[in-house]
Amino acid sequence: MSNPYLELAAPGVKGLQPYQPGKPISELEREYGVPNIIKLASNENPLGPGRAARAAMEREIAQVARYPDGGGYELKAALAARHSIDAARITLGNGSNDVLVLLAEAFLTPETEAVYSEYAFAVYPIAVQAVGARARVAPAYPRDHAASPLGHDLHAMAQCLNGRTRLVFIANPNNPTGTWLERADLRSFVERVPQHALVVIDEAYFDYVDEPEYPDTTRWLDDFPNLVVTRTFSKAFGLAGVRAGYALSAPGVADLLNRVRQPFNLNSLAQAAAVAALGDNAHLERSRELNRRGLEEIASYCEAFGLGFAPSIGNFVLVDFGRPALPVYEALLREAVIVRPVGNYGLPNHLRISVGLPEENERLTAALRKVL
Ligand SMILES: *Cc1c(COP(=O)(O)O)cnc(C)c1O
């Protein structure tokens, strides 16, 4: 169906395809009428939010007639304490997706460029193209690379830097590949990025990671004024539905992001839940522990079924079926299991599978056994 408004759209928008989210449970219910659906498709925390965050949201409902605190005072104070950082370096977002878009809006023009890797998180191309900037996409490591199959190749990324570069996006670990960059390699890359370009390190899965060589790049902010680190409450904190994320940066960068930010981009339930979640370490520990075991389960059934996969430090695994994976995806839907096809990333033989509750991981194993 042709869209009569296409010619009127901004040039960058014309070439965009909408982001393809994981299939919602309610949609599969409508389409297939299958009961007891499990969704392992969007890297959500299967435990959901902790009790403290739930209680904070319930309390906050009494105030929802009021606008939220547009400055996010309490949440910024809690984050400032957590990261030992000045609150003037924090930009709050409606999910970290929001701060990625704010960065593109504040720093990119049709005359400038952004660099990211092949197979990097799908929001980067959308944010860059929507503002009409040029994307330089660095080739990723090949699929038979030992440490980091399909992962970011920092040398290839460095070759994409030039006088027009304003943003460099790095997902660590990357979604959908699960691959990650070690401290020394990432730091020497950041050192090579010229001051006229911001390096955005997207650490959406930070709180799941348990890897000695994995860097906490928020510690580098004093060394690199052009560094921006993004984090989210959507993954390990179990709050994907309320939308809360943030960027840490130089105060001057935060000032500019704040100029393009919607005044009330973070709703009041999200702010209250995020503050409470930051104070609930027990829930975070439970979530991390569940994830550790889940990753092991996924690895063991991949090995049992002879499926290729890259070791992941997130809460998901990219599984290589060695043949077109869409029929497997569809057969799993008929078993009431939703996983994530990644053909839109140029990976037609893979599916991305999120860690679920132990019984959900078992359901997936049984469904895979049947389908394969
Ligand atoms: C999930 C994810 C995000 C952000 O999600 P929000 O819900 O918008 O905070 C950002 N980057 C990567 C790599 C992700 O996988």
Tens of pLDDT along 86-116?
999 999 999 999 999 999 999 999 999 999 9
Cα distance between the two ends of the chain: 36
Q: Give residue 21's pLDDT.
A: 87
Would you give the distance in Å from CA 304 to the centre of its chain? 29
SS3 175: coil
Centre of ligand 1 from the C-alpha of residue 370, in Å: 32
With a CB cutoff of 8 Å and minimum separation 6, the contacts of 371 are 328, 331, 332, 335
- Within 6 A (CB) of ligand 1 lie 43, 95-97, 121, 171, 175, 202, 204, 232, 234-235, 240, 245
* Start-end of H helices in 261-325: 268-278, 281-304
Pocket test for ligand 1, best of 102, 103, 123, 243 (most atoms within 8 A of CB): 123
Give me ligand 1 centre to Cα 176, in Å.
Answer: 11
Sign for the pseudo-dihedral over CA of 281, 284, 289, 290: positive
Q: What 3-state DSSP class applies to 34?
A: coil
Whole-number Å distance, alpha carbon 244 to ligand 1 midpoint, is 10
The residue whose CA has the least distance to atom 1 of ligand 1 is 204
Q: What is the pLDDT of residue 292?
A: 97
How far apart are alpha carbons 354 and 294 in whole angstroms?
A: 9
CATH class name, domain 6-48+282-371: alpha beta
pLDDT tens, N- to C-terminus, the chain (372 residues): 689 999 999 988 998 988 888 899 999 999 888 889 999 999 999 999 999 999 999 999 999 999 999 999 999 999 999 999 999 999 999 999 999 999 999 999 999 999 999 999 999 999 999 999 999 999 999 999 988 999 999 999 999 999 999 999 999 999 999 999 999 999 999 999 999 999 999 999 999 999 999 999 999 999 999 999 999 999 999 999 999 999 999 999 999 999 999 999 999 999 999 999 999 999 999 999 999 999 999 999 999 999 999 889 999 999 999 999 999 999 999 999 999 999 999 999 999 999 999 999 999 999 999 999
CA separation for the pair 290, 286 (Å, rounded): 6
The angle that helices 281-304 and 51-60 make with each other, rounded to 10 degrees, is 120
What atom of ligand 1 comes closest to residue 120's alpha carbon? Answer: 13
Is residue 16 within 8 Å of residue 129, measured between CB atoms?
A: yes
User: Which atom of ligand 1 has the smallest separation from the CA of 235?
Assistant: 1
Closest CA to 278 of 78, 95, 18: 78
Which residue is associated with the tokens 């009431």? 336
CATH 3.90.1150.10 residue window(s) in the chain: 6-48+282-371
Tell which one of 92, 97, 181 to mutate to probe ligand 1, the residue whose CB is within 8 A of the most ligand atoms.
97
**Which atom of ligand 1 lies at the shortest distance from residue 171's CA?**
13
The CATH label, of 3.10.450.50, 3.30.70.580, 3.60.110.10, 3.40.640.10, for the domain at 51-278 is: 3.40.640.10
Give the per-residue pLDDT at 45: 98
Element (H, E) at 158: helix 154-159
Per the prediction, the chain carries an average pLDDT of 96
Neighbouring C-alpha atoms within 13 Å toward the C-beta of 146: 0
What is 251-275 written as a DSSP string? HHHHHHHHHHS-TT-S-HHHHHHHH
CB-based contact 237:45 (threshold 8 Å): yes
Q: Give the HSE-up count for residue 31: Cα atoms under 13 Å, Cβ half-sphere.
A: 12
Name residue, tokens 């499990």: 38
| Ligand 1 center–CA 35 separation, angstroms | 29
Of ligand 1's listed atoms, the one at least distance from the Cα of 176 is 15
Residues 6+ apart with CB under 8 A from 186: 154, 170, 172, 201, 215, 217
Instruction: Give the pLDDT of residue 118.
Output: 98
Handedness of CA 60, 65, 68, 73 (dihedral sign): negative
The ranges of the chain annotated as CATH 3.40.640.10 are 51-278
Residue 145's contacts (CB-CB under 8 Å, 6 or more residues apart) are 151
CA nearest 163: which of 132, 197, 131, 186? 197
On whether the CB atoms of residues 138 and 159 are closer than 8 A, the answer is yes
- Ligand 1 pocket test: pick from 92, 100, 235 the residue with the most ligand atoms within 8 Å of its Cβ: 235
Cα(232) to centroid(ligand 1), Å: 7
**So what's the pLDDT on residue 19?**
85
Residue range 179-217, pLDDT digits in tens = 999 999 999 999 999 999 999 999 999 999 999 999 999
With beta carbons less than 8 A apart as the criterion, state whether 104 and 261 touch.
no
The pLDDT score that the predictor gives to residue 318 is 97
